[in-house]
Structure 1
Amino acid sequence: MYELDQQYLEELETIASEIQESDELARYLDSEEEEDFTRLKELYEPRIAHLYEAVAKDNPLQIIPFELVVLDSMFEGLFLPKILGYSVLRGEVNEQVKYVRPQEHFKDILLAICQSTNFEILKKRIGQTIQIGFALSSDIWITNLINSITNKRIRYYLQGQKLDRYRRDSDRLIGLNRYHNQFRNDFFQTADFPGSAADLPVFFNPLKQFLIHRASIKVNNSSLLEPLDNFITNDEMQGTTEHMQVMAIYAMFYDLTDASRKQLSTIFNKIREKSTGFSERFLHFLMELHHHPVLRIMPEADKKMSLIVDKTYNDKLSEYYQLLDIIHDQGYTSEEAHEAVKVFYNKNEGMSTINECVRQTVFQYFNRFISNLEERHYPELFDISKQFAIYMRIFVNEQFNQGLKELSMNFVTNALTRFVDKRGKDYQDIKKFVSSAFVDFGFLKEKEIVEMFKTRRKKKTE
């Protein structure tokens, strides 16, 4: 575990001291009224939250040490309901929507709340959190936690948070997703870097998801570069699939120093040369990243990875990144790219992993272009659609075709919502294009197009 930077620790100590010396706390201790505690919360929780967000954005590996400091009674339980929720959401769950490992940090925070003199007020903000945390935990773990509490009233309260409605896997998943939506804009993700091969199975999945998450948002990741370098250079990790995946994420999505890039390239290619089936395993992971629901592999990421790959090696990886260099440098709409993709694609099986990666690379170009196209610029859709036919002929892949159809249909639907005058030039231009091109591409049948542009008669009012 990383230590909390002194500057953060000092700021927390200052907040704790101010809480203890405040008139608001004195008033609450005298009255024991909830409204006085609410006033205390309104004054100091935003300050803790602001500092927490700064740590979470710039030094995410220090989040747990930060939370442990806030467990101190000097903070009067402020901000604990929030970090209790964070601890629930960090746990890795399996296919049965149960925690893979017991969440001891969740237990520590919950016990701190239960032992707080302000428990009766705090419990009003933690019911749903405990319900989800218990739903994801094992019965034995919950029983042991509850039995460790001496206060019968608190034990009864906790027992009441174990709900029958979360017995089924599907219900737990729905509950977890709904709960997670409440925190979708919060920064609270963290992870542990395994220090040995024995730790790898325990820490890897949360670490992988954490690194992907940090790559998908705009934050300062400089504090992660040193632990990433340490992980990459750790001899115990090298040669494992997990190490290869971290190398790929690091190379494509993080801003390496020149020294780190050179070091990573040396290690990557050394392992690549020694490991049987390295290229296929790497490409399989690349395909996984292409299909990630949030992360997008932009041309910049491909170019960063291309700098790592030694293309003098005679393998699929060299061929693949040589092709991507052409696509990104010459442009996917260029004749050079068309020919290079065609030759490369025909050398490999159509449904192979490497060809799927090529299709995804090309599709993401179309996706970015059309998704960011304003409705008033619809003639640009007409122009780019000329590329559809070229790549559809090369790939002969229904999934690729369906992806283009969905992109095009979404754009046209939005455009028709804007251009409602059916006699206007804009509407007629779009109708003419759809009527011709969408049939040629196989996106729609003629009957579907007629239905799409049919004028709906208004019902007469009696």
Structure 2
Amino acid sequence: MQALAEAYKTKLEALGAEIQESDELQAYLEEEEEEQYMQLKEMFEPRIAMVYDEVAGAHPLQLIALETLLLQPEFEGLFLPKILGFTVLRGEVDVALMKYTRTQEHFKEVLMAICNSANFDLLRKRIGQSIQMGFALSSDIWVTNLINEVDNKRVRYFLQGQKLDRYRVLEERVKGYQRYQRQFRSENFMSAEFPQALSDLKTLYSPLKRFLLYRVDGNYDNSSIIPHLRSFVEHKDFKGHREYLEVLVLYASFFNLEGDDLDHLRKHFNEVRQSMDDFQEQYLEYLLELHLKEEVVIDPDADKRISSVMDHKVKDDLSKYYDLLDEVHSKGYTTDEAQEAVKAFYTQYQGLSNINECLRQTIYGYFNRLISNLEETDYPELFEISKLYPVYMNIFANQQFNQQLKELSLEYVGKLLKKYTDKRGKDYQDIKKFVATTFQDLGFLKEKEVVEMFKTRRKRKKTS
């Protein structure tokens, strides 16, 4: 946990003092009515949220320290229900069991602060679902021990009531967790701890990787994380471990570096590239894993960052791979030169090798980014870009690649048919003609499937 910067600490302490001196709090203390507490909440929670969002955006490693500060009594439990939800979702979950891989002590810390708050009776109305989910993902023994630490019988009975029997079933935990996640989709609350010793590397790595992927996917200001990444990549004890390699790939691919930071990464990247056993194989294996993640985009910029870090004088498969990508990205995948270069490279390796899999995903990425961002009115661009499908389908001769192009194209055509419903209109007829010819030629659809797609559906007559 990184300490909270003095500037943020001062802001929050001043806010806590203001809460204690406010008329809203005095009115609540005198009348003890929910309405007065809600006025206090409406007055101060947005201001707490502003500080929280500022820290989450620029200094995410300080979030745990910020949340711990907000547990103090002078904040009257404000914003704690939200923080409790954040602690539930930060925990690493074993997807096979839908249980936490490690006990969530910060979840417990926040929950106990709420339970011991003088305002518990009001806060309990906003935390039920968070407790239910946190308990469902935790072990029964851990939950029982937590509840037994609560002295107040009334609070203890409340917590016991949040252990839902339905969450004993795996499928229900999965559904419940997915529903719960959706409520926080727009929130920025992820944090992590960087390991300082080899003994911490295994235990802290998984949440750290999740945090880094979250940050690069959200396009946040990650400048405050770079010093910690520098320390990580220069740690001698970490080098040679798979966890180290994966952080190295994420750092090199997604962080915009220059000057000393870039030189520092180059030095350690190329040093490990030479010294680590099976570096190329493990690198390509992880790169392919990233290509296949929905939340990660390995675009030309990511490839160029890696290429700028890599020493191309070392004549190995990685140098050849990034030399090729430099050519494809500079000349364009639509050019004959790039297509010939891809073909010449691809034939040197086995079709299902990781290096060829990565190359196919790179080319598919171009098609995906173009078609996924087309508006319905831009459908003629699909007609044009589909002329390139046979070129790469012939080069790769890979059924999975063909299936990806098929699904991508059909999804876009589905959007078109929702917009253009006039079967006599020019747009509809152009789309129908294109699908009927091109999709059959490419093997995406059979004639019967095309007929079914464009068949007029008769409306059933209403019975009187």
TM-score (norm 1): 0.98
Alpha-carbon shift at residue 142 of structure 1 (Å): 1.4
CA distance in 1, matches of 2:286, 2:460: 55
CA distance in 2, matches of 1:63, 1:175: 26
Are 1:303 and 2:304 matched, yes or no? Answer: yes
**2:73 matched residue in structure 1:** 73
Secondary structure, aligned partner of 2:347: helix
Alpha-carbon shift at residue 85 of structure 1 (Å): 0.8
Are 1:184 and 2:168 matched, yes or no? Answer: no
Q: Deviations over 1:14-64 (max 9, x none)?
A: 111111011111111111111111111111111111110111011100100
One-letter amino acid of the structure 2 residue matched with residue 28 of structure 1: Y
CA distance in 1, matches of 2:24, 2:461: 66
**1:40 matched residue in structure 2:** 40
Q: Deviations over 1:244-284 (max 9, x none)?
A: 11111111111113211111111111111112211010000
**1:360 matched residue in structure 2:** 361
One-letter amino acid of the structure 1 residue matched with residue 43 of structure 2: L
**2:175 matched residue in structure 1:** 174
Alpha-carbon shift at residue 378 of structure 1 (Å): 1.8
Alpha-carbon shift at residue 361 of structure 1 (Å): 0.3
Are 1:224 and 2:225 matched, yes or no? Answer: yes
Alpha-carbon shift at residue 79 of structure 1 (Å): 0.7
**1:445 matched residue in structure 2:** 446
**1:287 matched residue in structure 2:** 288
One-letter amino acid of the structure 1 residue matched with residue 438 of structure 2: A
CA distance in 2, matches of 1:243, 1:174: 34
Are 1:418 and 2:395 matched, yes or no? Answer: no
**1:97 matched residue in structure 2:** 98
Map 1:344-355; keep pairs closer than 5 Å.
Answer: 344-355=345-356
Are 1:138 and 2:122 matched, yes or no? Answer: no
One-letter amino acid of the structure 2 residue matched with residue 81 of structure 1: P
Secondary structure, aligned partner of 2:63: helix
CA distance in 2, matches of 1:234, 1:461: 74
Q: Structure 1: any 5+ residue segments left out of the alignment? A: none
Secondary structure, aligned partner of 1:190: coil
**1:389 matched residue in structure 2:** 390
**2:63 matched residue in structure 1:** 63
One-letter amino acid of the structure 2 residue matched with residue 68 of structure 1: T
**2:82 matched residue in structure 1:** 82
One-letter amino acid of the structure 2 residue matched with residue 358 of structure 1: L
**1:206 matched residue in structure 2:** 207
CA distance in 1, matches of 2:292, 2:459: 44
CA distance in 1, matches of 2:365, 2:427: 27
Deviates more, 1:420-429 or 1:360-369: 420-429
One-letter amino acid of the structure 1 residue matched with residue 363 of structure 2: V
Secondary structure, aligned partner of 2:93: coil
Whether the aligned pair in 1 keeps the contact of 2:240 and 2:277 (CA below 8 Å) is no
One-letter amino acid of the structure 2 residue matched with residue 397 of structure 1: N
Whether the aligned pair in 1 keeps the contact of 2:239 and 2:276 (CA below 8 Å) is no
Q: Deviations over 1:44-98 (max 9, x none)?
A: 1111111101110111001001001100000011111110110111111123111
Deviates more, 1:101-110 or 1:313-322: 313-322
One-letter amino acid of the structure 1 residue matched with residue 226 of structure 2: L
CA distance in 1, matches of 2:30, 2:460: 69
CA distance in 1, matches of 2:420, 2:455: 15
**1:260 matched residue in structure 2:** 261
CA distance in 2, matches of 1:147, 1:301: 50
CA distance in 2, matches of 1:10, 1:176: 36
Are 1:108 and 2:143 matched, yes or no? Answer: no
One-letter amino acid of the structure 2 residue matched with residue 15 of structure 1: L
Secondary structure, aligned partner of 2:391: helix
CA distance in 2, matches of 1:132, 1:104: 15
**1:17 matched residue in structure 2:** 17
Q: Deviations over 1:164-205 (max 9, x none)?
A: 111122221221111111111001000000001110011000
Are 1:273 and 2:277 matched, yes or no? Answer: no
Deviates more, 1:395-404 or 1:283-292: 395-404
Deviates more, 1:393-402 or 1:421-430: 421-430
CA distance in 2, matches of 1:145, 1:432: 66
Alpha-carbon shift at residue 421 of structure 1 (Å): 2.6
**2:324 matched residue in structure 1:** 323
Q: Deviations over 1:181-236 (max 9, x none)?
A: 11110010000000011100110000001001100112211111111111111111
CA distance in 2, matches of 1:141, 1:451: 56
Which runs of structure 1 show a deviation greater than 6 angstroms over 4 or more consecutive aligned residues? Answer: none
Deviates more, 1:71-80 or 1:250-259: 250-259
CA distance in 2, matches of 1:309, 1:129: 46
Q: Deviations over 1:384-424 (max 9, x none)?
A: 11110000111111111111111211222222222223222
CA distance in 1, matches of 2:45, 2:420: 49
CA distance in 1, matches of 2:396, 2:87: 45
Secondary structure, aligned partner of 2:257: coil
Q: Sequence identity, in percent?
A: 54
CA RMSD across the alignment: 1.3
CA distance in 2, matches of 1:428, 1:435: 10
CA distance in 2, matches of 1:413, 1:440: 19
TM-score (norm 2): 0.97
Q: Deviations over 1:347-405 (max 9, x none)?
A: 11111111110010000100011111122222211111111000011111111111111
CA distance in 1, matches of 2:171, 2:304: 41
CA distance in 1, matches of 2:462, 2:237: 78
Deviates more, 1:441-450 or 1:251-260: 251-260
